[in-house]
Amino acid sequence: METNIVFVLAASFIAGFLARYLLGKKFFSKKHHRLFFEAEQEAHKIIKEAHREAETIRKDKILQAKERFIELKSKHEKETHLREKKITDIEKRIWDKERKLSDEIALYHKKNINLQNQATDYEKQLQILSKKYEEIKNIYSEQVKSLEEISQYSADEAREKLIETLKDEAKTKARAYIQQIIEDAQLTAKAEARKILIQSIQRIGTEQAIENAVSVFNIESDDIKGRIIGREGRNIRTLEQVTGVEIIVDDTPEAILLSCFNPVRREIARLALQKLVADGRIHPARIEEVVSKTEKQIEEEIIDNGKKTMIDLDIHGLRPELVKIVGRMKYRSSYGQNLLQHSREVAHLAGTLAAELGLNAKLAKRAGLLHDIGKVPEAESELPHALLGMRWAEKHGEHPEVCNAIGAHHDEIDMKSLIAPIIQIADAISGARPGARRQNLESYAKRLSDMEGIALSFEGVNKSFAVQAGRELWVLVESEKVDDQRAFQLSQEITDRIQNEMTYPGQVRVTVIRETRAVQIAR
């Protein structure tokens, strides 16, 4: 800013000098004189303004310097004040500690004096007590000697005699009390147990459980039968191969029979047929697509059935794997009795019995629902279903009492809690009531399942289906792994194993199906 002022002053001086120089020349006219005068006036004005501005800047600088000085001074005073305050606080803390230490030293000396006085008093009292104890001991000895002289027994002999007398008396009373309890229990136990069982059965109302191996699919007209059969029977043959269900088309009007021992397969075939008839497009490729979608739909329904059963029984916290197993019970049967309905019935009975006996009803219902999960394995197992179910329950973190009840409900293992016999009783009640079970269907389904398992045990077998009530076995093989010659050998090997390992009526026809498909997609 000062450089600018100097520059302005220099310019003004030069302008004034030039003006005076030009004024001295005679060749300037009056006009030039007037311009020179105005320029001189302007120069004086600029110089004056420059002086005024310089004065203003100087005053501002002085003012700023004073403000900065005041600011620094204030900051210094604050720092000095804070430092003095810290020093004062430190001095105060040191003084407080010194005073506290002095008080503690004085208190310690005072307590030490009091302890010395108390120790002196304790010693005096101890001497007095010792004298009293000796006096009492002498008196006791004199009384014991007097009693021994009177009873002619020493103190030890009298003590042993008294103990033996009390023990005999206590044993006699205990035996009498135990005998009384046993007699009361024998009189009332049977009546009480019968009362609890009857009340529990009366509170559980279920229908008769009748299961069969045939489902009826109704159609609107017989014309649809021809479309389902297809040209030369290709549609019905494809449907049987992908579902493993035997489809019987007879003279029954507006109906088709679906025959299979596995309820899941029958349900898949029924739903797939329903979708195909509603859609109208029935050909092998469409059949395979619809059956694949239906299988996924059944898996979702299985999970929904498991969740709904948990909600109905007020059971919470089952692992997703156990929920799926519970849902699959709907499509399984035990001696003709639907397994899910049987398990729900056992859960209700077990919960009622446990509540009547004052036990944990929720734990009993949980064990009742899961007691037969070993009957729905995804793969065949040599273990009894009770032990297999117990292993699954342990694997998925169920309560130890629940696991023990599952494993012990057929006496495979020892019972370790009161819930185990309750589950066994509830299972017997549910299965023994009239119309609950049919023995033949269970053995029939097991025979067909074992037959399919033999076929699946061979390498290269993709699927196997027992049809015609077990008189025929379809074996679908992978064309990449099994050639035509191997297919013939495979049918012979499966036939030999069935003959050696199974007992069955009549004869079994083994059909090995191998096909090669060439599929391309036009884009």
- Phi (first) and psi of residue 378, to 5 degrees: -75, -25
Residue indicated by tokens 């009362």: 195
In contact, 383 and 407? CB cutoff 8 Å: no
Q: Is 336 left (phi over 0), alpha (psi -120 to 50) or beta?
A: left
Task: Note the pLDDT of residue 207.
Answer: 45
Tell me what pLDDT residue 70 has: 87
329 class by beta-carbon count within 10 Å (0-12 exposed, 13-18 middle, 19+ buried) = buried
Q: Which residues contact 12 (CB under 8 A, 6 or more apart)?
A: 43, 44, 46, 47, 50
3-state class (DSSP) for residue 120: helix
Q: How far apart are CA 292 and CA 270, in angstroms?
A: 13
Mean pLDDT, consecutive 10-residue segments, the chain of 523 residues? Answer: 56 61 51 70 83 85 86 86 87 86 81 74 81 81 72 68 74 74 66 62 48 70 77 84 82 76 82 85 86 88 88 86 87 74 88 87 90 78 83 88 89 86 86 54 74 89 83 87 86 89 80 81 75
Alpha carbons within 13 angstroms on the beta-carbon side of residue 404 total 13
- pLDDT for res 403: 92
Per-position DSSP letters for 333-357, written without gaps between them: EETTEEHHHHHHHHHHHHHHHHHHT
- Angstrom CA distances, 150 to 142, 158, 242, stand at 12, 12, 106
Strands 509-513 and 472-477: parallel
Contact yes or no for 460/480 (Cβ under 8 A): no
Q: What is the pLDDT of residue 209?
A: 41
Q: Which homologous superfamily does the CATH classification assign to the domain defined by 446-513?
A: ANL, C-terminal domain (3.30.300.30)
Torsion of CA 428, 434, 440, 441, to 10 degrees: -80
Domain boundaries, the chain: 2-148, 319-437, 446-513
Distance CA 430, CA 208 (A): 10
Assign domain 319-437 to a CATH class: mainly alpha
Residue 255: Cβ-neighbour burial (10 angstroms; 0-12, 13-18, 19+): middle
